[in-house]
Amino acid sequence: MDNIVFQVDGHLAEITINRPKALNALNSATLKELQVVIEEIANNSEIRVVILTGSGKKAFVAGADITEMKEMNAIEARAFGRLGQKVFSSLENLPQVVIAAVNGFALGGGCELSMACDMRLASTKAKFGQPEVGLGITPGFAGTQRLPRLVGKGRAKELIYTADVIDAQEAYRIGLVNKIYEPEELLDKARELAHKIISKGPCAVSLAKSAINNGLNMDTESAFNYEAEIFGLCFATKDQKEGMAAFVDKRKADFKGC
């Protein structure tokens, strides 16, 4: 792959968007490579947590590739938007947990990519924003949908209508990021968080993700029913047997998988 570095170490996978000369901007080729990596992760049940970051010190992802978009007609732009939406949805719906380690600019498609992850850890140097209206376009990789769901409608509208770029502290204040770290400790902290999640029941974590993600797209009663199904399903897993046996035996659980 030309634009992505993908590494697996035990239960942890790391994806690095690697176009530093273009501040890791997402062109079609990079989106397609990302889709291939996501499918590989989906088919590898050894992987439990994924960290997604950008290469270099300056950017996570500075947006969709403006040079490529500049020449697009309406039909091509719609297809490009659909491609980004599809890739980000498959990332969001992975059975594994995905942590964004936002090491710099996360603008436009970059902010949208981080929002398709389960959690966002930011470096003190990270900057977030949806600057699209300044380019005469709207956010196109589901930012109009994920941002209001994360930070509320009023704040999302303010960010999108003004194209303001906010720093990590402000992103933390409005609930867009979970934690902020110094740049040199960001990846270690992301790995620490990943290993904490890896040490828990892998089926339980994955089922909890499914309950949250799918439940939020349902009416409340259906979501409660879905949660009850998921909760019941846990009792058919080795995770539940081992987790509860370990508690009763007063020892640390040793989860091996479903």
Q: Which stretch binds ligand CAA (CB under 6 A): 28-36, 90-98, 133-141, 211-219?
A: 133-141
63 binds ligand CAA (CB under 6 A): yes
Based on CB atoms, which residue is closest to ligand CAA, 13 or 25?
25
Question: Which of 30, 33, 113, 143 contacts ligand CAA by CB under 6 A?
Answer: 143
Measured distance CA(127)–CA(166) in Å, rounded: 6
Site membership for ligand CAA, residue 66 (CB under 6 A): yes
For the chain, give the number of residues: 258
**Residue 31 CB, nearest approach to ligand CAA (Å):** 10
DSSP β-ladder status, 49-54 and 97-102: parallel
Helix H or strand E encompassing 7: strand 4-9
Cα angle: 180, vertex 152, 139; to 5 degrees: 85
Query: Catalytic amino acids?
Result: 112, 132
CB nearer to ligand CAA: pick between 140 and 201: 140
| Angle between helix 202-215 and helix 238-249 axes, rounded to 10 deg | 120
**Smallest gap from residue 77 Cβ to ligand CAA (A):** 9
For position 109 contacting ligand CAA by CB under 6 A, the verdict is yes
Asked whether position 108 contacts ligand CAA by CB under 6 A, the answer is yes
Give the number of residues in contact with ligand CAA, rule: CB under 6 A: 22
Q: Taking the CB of residue 95, how many other CB atoms lie within 10 A of it?
A: 16
With contacts defined by CB under 6 A, name the span among 93-101, 102-110, 203-211, 225-233 that binds ligand CAA: 102-110
- SS3 at position 128: strand
Contacts to ligand CAA from residues 20-39, by CB under 6 A: 22-23, 25
Q: Are 255 and 200 in contact (CB under 8 A)?
A: yes
| 114 neighbors 100 (Cβ within 8 angstroms) | yes
Interface with ligand CAA by CB under 6 A: which range of 49-57, 63-71, 174-182, 206-214? 63-71
Q: Is the CB of 97 or the CB of 147 nearer to ligand CAA?
A: 147
In the bound complex, what is the minimum distance in angstroms from residue 96's beta carbon to ligand CAA?
Answer: 25
Rounded CA-CA distance 80/197 in Å is 34
Interior angle at CA 194, CA 193 and CA 198, nearest 5: 120
Amino acid identity, position 77: A
Chain contacts with ligand CAA (rule: CB under 6 A): 22-23, 25, 62-67, 84, 105, 107-109, 112, 131-132, 135, 139-141, 143
